[in-house]
Structure 1
Amino acid sequence: MNTRKHYKHCFAVAAYGESPYLPLLLHSLTMQSIESRVIICTSTPNRYITKLSAQFGYPVYVRNGAHGLQQDWNFAYEMGAERSELVTIAHQDDLYFPDYTKALLHAFQHFPDMSVFCCRYDTIDGEGNTIDGSSEKVKRILRLRLKDHAHADRTIVKLSALRYGNGIGCPSCTYHTKYCPAPLFRNDYKFVIDWDTLIRLAREPGRFICIEKPLMAYRVHAGAETMRNIENHNREKEEREVFRKLHSAPVTDMLMHFYKKAYGAYQQDPKQ
């Protein structure tokens, strides 16, 4: 890749440890129909990441200090923001389909006030097989009002995708640095870090553009951070806290009753 070339968009890969899925992610980024800048950001430098960096030709940027989700994601975002105005924090377990960048840039061309871009996604297991996407179907319902791109700059429209659950898939998001200044993540959550951030961004200037076409795949597997947060009950705790910021206690209890059913999607991976 020509590092001197100007790219409007950057995939900032948040790499941690030695994920067996990282090569698959990097390969999916090489297959984009429109080239983006790609960088690898990590707080756990090792030979594995260095080898993949050399293999794919993507530079590695190392953050000094202990691993932490907020710190690692903010570092990746800031490294990307130094190089491009549109930044996707690519999760190492996921995949991006060839037209992700194409759809993103097309949306940006038509809506330069876009603060957040997101899309529909497929759900895959540890082997790459598509699994039940019922939770994504629910998210699609939550995102219904975002289909009206002409009015997706209104706070009420943006919040409609977030009030009754997080209708926006975190790894599908690209942030416009003009409207989303660093630090991007300003809370201490371990699971709902993106949901709480999107609620804040929904109340600030900028348009949320959602493309209801699967442009990426979100992987669920036994080693995923999501699974750890379910097992230690942190997901339930944090989701309840965010709902309480938006609703009364009785409404929060009702929403949590139905929202916890989505946890079952993580039991479908045969590796668990």
Structure 2
Amino acid sequence: MLTSDDHSFAVLAYGESPYLAECVESLLAQTVRTRVFVSTSTPNEHIRSVARRYGLELRANEAEPGIASDWNFAVSQSQTPLLTLAHQDDTYEPGYAEHMLGGMAAVERPLIFFTNYGELREGRKVDDNRLLRVKRRLLSPIGWSGSADDLRTKRRVLSLGSAICCPSVTLNLPLLPNAPFRADMRSNLDWDAWERFSRLEGSFVYDREVLMHHRIHEGSETSALIRDNTRTEEDLRMLERFWPTPVARAINLVYSRAQASNSKA
């Protein structure tokens, strides 16, 4: 039986995001309250003041900064078996933790839990657009059952793109590698992790309800990676794990055009 004591949110804070407090408030407003701490490699007065305001412990990563380093550090700081890496610009619906605990408890060996999601564009919640519909179709093989434990299904939902929204994911740490994220990718370290996790014994658990919102703005890391072509290059590397190179290149051409919606309403 899983309880609120089994889960933590690690708020990944970087720089001076104006959205950090909004993210924290959404975590503290959960219908089932779990632990929340702030993790950063850029400790500054803005981050410290938000942590103080909400009474949160602040953990500082003193290793060389980088996305994989920051995420793995947050993982290492968790005192609970279940951990959600909450990105500082995003928000969570009040029922996220409650749904997550129920979903994880419903299967024998859950590897990760993740949810449907919407976007935040100019402060407005957008729960339906072309890219979101595509990602939901990609996840449809497990959408109705709510979980997948066979290798074929887990890999099928990853084979045409990164359909799993990273900040919607809760990790079941005892069943995963100690440092789950690898530094050889900047954009697709999450897709890379899910692909490796898909080979492990256990289930991917998916909740079809929109339980978090991912903020889209020009200052986001995702937007920057799209602009400098890193995203497209890494997408091809990932697709080649599932398809022969000519097929992977064709899929990547279509997929890269969809990235334009990251900056368009």
Q: Which residue of 2 aligns with 1:108?
A: 104
Q: Is residue 120–residue 214 contact of structure 1 (8 Å, CA) maintained in 2?
A: yes
Residues 109-188 of structure 1: pairs in structure 2 closer than 5 A = 109-130=105-126, 133-147=129-143, 149=145, 152-188=148-184
Change (3 A) 1:268 1:75: same
> Can you give the 5+ residue segments of structure 1 that lack an aligned partner in the other structure?
none
Q: Is residue 9–residue 34 contact of structure 2 (8 Å, CA) maintained in 1?
A: yes
Q: 2:263 aligns with which of 248, 256, 267?
A: 267
Q: Which residue of 1 aligns with 2:10?
A: 12
CA shift for structure 1 position 209 = 0.5
Q: Percent identity?
A: 32
Change (3 A) 1:212 1:42: same
Residues 169-248 of structure 1: pairs in structure 2 closer than 5 A = 169-248=165-244
CA shift for structure 1 position 108 = 1.7
What is the alpha-carbon distance in structure 2 between the residues aligned to residue 182 and residue 148 of structure 1?
31
Q: Is residue 125–residue 131 contact of structure 1 (8 Å, CA) maintained in 2?
A: no
Q: 2:248 aligns with which of 246, 252, 255?
A: 252
Q: Is residue 147–residue 205 contact of structure 2 (8 Å, CA) maintained in 1?
A: no
CA shift for structure 1 position 212 = 0.5
Which amino acid is 1:134 matched to? R
> Can you give the 5+ residue segments of structure 2 that lack an aligned partner in the other structure?
none
Is residue 61 from structure 1 mapped to residue 59 from structure 2 by the alignment? yes
The count of corresponding residues between Structure 1 and Structure 2 is 263
CA shift for structure 1 position 151 = 6.4
Is residue 22 from structure 1 mapped to residue 20 from structure 2 by the alignment? yes
Which amino acid is 2:11 matched to? V
Q: Is residue 4–residue 34 contact of structure 2 (8 Å, CA) maintained in 1?
A: no
The normalised TM-score by structure 1 is 0.92
**Secondary structure class of the residue paired with 1:106:** helix
Which amino acid is 1:225 matched to? E
Alpha-carbon RMSD across the aligned residues, in angstroms, is 1.7
CA shift for structure 1 position 187 = 4.2
CA shift for structure 1 position 262 = 1.8
Deviates more, 1:144-153 or 1:228-237: 144-153
**Secondary structure class of the residue paired with 2:32:** coil
Deviates more, 1:213-222 or 1:258-267: 258-267
Which amino acid is 1:166 matched to? S
CA shift for structure 1 position 267 = 2.2
CA shift for structure 1 position 57 = 1.1
CA shift for structure 1 position 206 = 1.3
Q: Is residue 41–residue 63 contact of structure 1 (8 Å, CA) maintained in 2?
A: yes
Greater than 6 Å deviation, 4+ residue runs = none
Q: Is residue 132–residue 265 contact of structure 1 (8 Å, CA) maintained in 2?
A: no
**Secondary structure class of the residue paired with 2:118:** strand
The normalised TM-score by structure 2 is 0.95
Q: 2:94 aligns with which of 78, 91, 98?
A: 98
**Secondary structure class of the residue paired with 1:90:** strand
Deviates more, 1:171-180 or 1:139-148: 139-148
What is the alpha-carbon distance in structure 2 between the residues aligned to residue 182 and residue 117 of structure 1?
18
Which amino acid is 1:146 matched to? I
**Secondary structure class of the residue paired with 2:59:** strand
What is the alpha-carbon distance in structure 2 between the residues aligned to residue 147 and residue 129 of structure 1?
22
**Secondary structure class of the residue paired with 1:7:** helix
What is the alpha-carbon distance in structure 1 between the residues aligned to residue 63 and residue 122 of structure 2?
30
Q: Is residue 187–residue 196 contact of structure 1 (8 Å, CA) maintained in 2?
A: no
CA shift digits 1:129-187 (9 cap, x unpaired) = 42753212111111111135486111111111101111211111001012113101124
What is the alpha-carbon distance in structure 1 between the residues aligned to residue 213 and residue 114 of structure 2?
13
Change (3 A) 1:123 1:151: closer
